[in-house]
Structure 1
């Protein structure tokens, strides 16, 4: 069972998101918060697998709440949910440590897919935001590609294989099955890769994998 804490200041939105998640028998919304501070407290209390956090909330916003949740609860992944798709929001969500980013206007199935993906250790971006993330963080595409290739060249062949699969959105379990590794070994590789690439989370590592053409090579 995937345990979820849901945070949004609008009760009707919370009800709608909960209704979508309740359609999956393997997802259980264990608590609901109406603001960022409450979300932090409920995550600390329930230790869920995933927190679904709205960006715009009164008092402590979703960015600050996400940073606090990720810092204090290593086992809880965070999906940021918003009605806005501005590039600055996407970039800020990634810097806050979010594992996923979804638009409220997207396909409801993306929410279930995203929750399942991040609960298994993968990063998840809705298709409508993935290309914008690459554009937002790329800047000069040629320069970024060269920088990404230089970073990837510092990895071992096995680390590059893991990074390619991570970039393709695979979870640790799926990477392990494909490369015939136990999940604990995959986690160790991912941790080392993040450190060597100088990034905070899997989403940023996935972007480097795309920029270095590792994902295309893997496919």
Structure 2
């Protein structure tokens, strides 16, 4: 079984130096202050763990956000955003740019490691707030290729339910539910990579001047 390799991009020196030590069961092969440095060195990594906010006084021209994600995906890396950002449309834009996962820096180390492994396995990892956006897109007919069971699983994930909790209420094995989620992940990932954040806003009625524009 191939062990996935991770590279880390973060402008915070202490976090670059410590993440691999805090997650010793994961194989971190390199750490970089910006995406440009990673792309110049091209580490042999399967997943790039990426901080969103990289432009600072010390590196004002550093690529960040969806621009950085697209550059990494174009270079052949799978991307997991690791961030304190909580705005759900920003996070949805990251998924639309090609990120496979979004993980909050407030998660426990155990949950973080599990999420990074899931991304390495190709599973879409999204916080409940963003899963809720996907659920709304399904209800509004913008994402129409899901089966009834996949919609049920998405709704449960949008409410933050674990696979164990879902298993008890749906009377299905956790492995079966994870299978539904992996199939759903592939569908949603393809949809988001073809959909801009603006398209998502329009589908929700939230674009500037639209009905739900506050």
TM tier, shorter chain? 0.5 to 0.7
Establish whether residue 61 from structure 1 lines up as the match of residue 64 from structure 2. Answer: yes
* Cα distance in 2 for residues equivalent to 1:163 and 1:83: 29
Structure 1: gaps spanning 5 or more residues: 180-185, 202-219
Change (3 A) 1:134 1:7: same
Change (3 A) 1:41 1:63: farther
Change (3 A) 1:164 1:87: closer
Q: 1:3 corresponds to which residue?
A: 5
Establish whether residue 71 from structure 1 lines up as the match of residue 74 from structure 2. Answer: yes
Q: Residue 6 of structure 1: SS of its match in structure 2?
A: strand
CA contact (8 A) 1:163 1:190 kept: no
Aligned length: 167
* Cα distance in 2 for residues equivalent to 1:136 and 1:57: 26
Change (3 A) 1:105 1:190: closer
Change (3 A) 1:114 1:16: same
CA contact (8 A) 1:162 1:190 kept: no
Normalised by the length of structure 2, the TM-score is 0.63
Normalised by the length of structure 1, the TM-score is 0.62
* Cα distance in 2 for residues equivalent to 1:178 and 1:198: 19
CA contact (8 A) 1:50 1:79 kept: yes
Q: What per-residue deviation string (whole Å, max 9, x for no partner) do you get for residues 101-144 of structure 1? A: 1111221112211111011111112xxx32x1134456xx4x74
* Cα distance in 2 for residues equivalent to 1:144 and 1:194: 10
Q: Residue 141 of structure 2: SS of its match in structure 1?
A: helix
CA RMSD, aligned part only?
3.6
* Cα distance in 2 for residues equivalent to 1:2 and 1:165: 31
Q: Residue 53 of structure 2: SS of its match in structure 1?
A: coil
CA contact (8 A) 2:66 2:94 kept: yes
Q: 2:38 corresponds to which residue?
A: 39
CA contact (8 A) 1:30 1:46 kept: yes
Q: 2:29 corresponds to which residue?
A: 30
Q: What per-residue deviation string (whole Å, max 9, x for no partner) do you get for residues 132-159 of structure 1? A: 1134456xx4x7414157x22xx7xxxx
Higher share in helix: 1
Query: Deviation of residue 162 (structure 1)?
Result: 9.9
Structure 2: gaps spanning 5 or more residues: 56-61, 164-174, 195-214
Where in structure 2 are the equivalents of 1:138-217 lying within 5 Å? 141=136, 144-147=138-141, 151-152=144-145, 160=147, 193=187, 198-200=191-193
